[in-house]
Structure 1
Amino acid sequence: MSVQAYNSSLKYETFSYLPPMTPEQVRRQVAYTIAQGWNPAVEHTERGTPAHVSYWYMWKLPLFGEQSVDAVMAEIEACHRAYPDHLVRYVAYDNYAQSQGLSFVVYR
């Protein structure tokens, strides 16, 4: 028995190995992070450059204290409209652990 290479597109986070999320599934993830008290943020980067692996641009400042899932979803959509050829990811910062609580690519 030999080990086979995984032939697929680049993987960015844990959710990348699952089928793309529906808008409702993204909403539920955003709602979960808000319920945890984490601060949402949106980031983007170019495809096909070395930067896309390690450097992500912030869309705006993190949405500190945001409680509206609709407001966060609107920012994700606005970023995607402004940069349709970029990867767009959602990040939730955990103030208590001082780290990212969750991060996943919404638009590949």
Structure 2
Amino acid sequence: MSEMQDYKSRLSDPASRKFETFSYLPAMKAEDIKKQVEYLVKKGWNPAIEHIEPEHMMDSYWYMWKLPMFGETDVDKVLAEAEACHKANPNNHVRLIGYNNFNQSQGASMVIFRGKTV
């Protein structure tokens, strides 16, 4: 078995905190985010955008940016809303969610823009 890396995430150190699977990877570039939106739309999931201040990211409540985009299939419209949320809240984490109607759950949830950590 290979050596496992310990990510030293601590509540006392906001800069070290990890959230969701993709946070262990480098920040997503625009083309990476577009691929994720394309995936959500291809799966038939409803995209939604949420945001939160970095110091509160461990809370279970994130602010919803407008309503979920029910039935939206235009990738550019979803990306425009994500960018608008990020522009309006430049210091906040912004995440993309894909709601799966069939399972009535989140099919995907990932932070696409990282806010400034303390």
> Which residue of the partner structure matches residue 68 of structure 1?
74
Show structure 1 runs of 5+ residues with no match.
none
Taking structure 2 as the reference length, the TM-score comes to: 0.82
Does residue 26 of the first structure (1) align with residue 33 of the second (2)? yes
Does residue 84 of the first structure (1) align with residue 71 of the second (2)? no
CA distance in 1, matches of 2:7, 2:45: 33
AA in 2 matched with 1:46: E
CA distance in 1, matches of 2:5, 2:67: 42
Match of 1:41 among 32, 35, 48: 48
CA distance in 1, matches of 2:96, 2:80: 12
CA distance in 2, matches of 1:55, 1:71: 25
Deviation of 1:87 (Å)? 0.7
AA in 2 matched with 1:25: D
AA in 1 matched with 2:7: Y
> Which residue of the partner structure matches residue 20 of structure 2?
13
What is the aligned-residue RMSD (CA, Å)? 1.5
Deviation of 1:48 (Å)? 1.2
Taking structure 1 as the reference length, the TM-score comes to: 0.90
**Moved >4 Å (runs of 4+):** none
Do the aligned partners of residues 101 and 5 (structure 1) sit closer, same or farther apart at CA in structure 2, a change above 3 Å counting?
Answer: same
Do the aligned partners of residues 7 and 37 (structure 1) sit closer, same or farther apart at CA in structure 2, a change above 3 Å counting?
Answer: same
> Which residue of the partner structure matches residue 65 of structure 2?
59
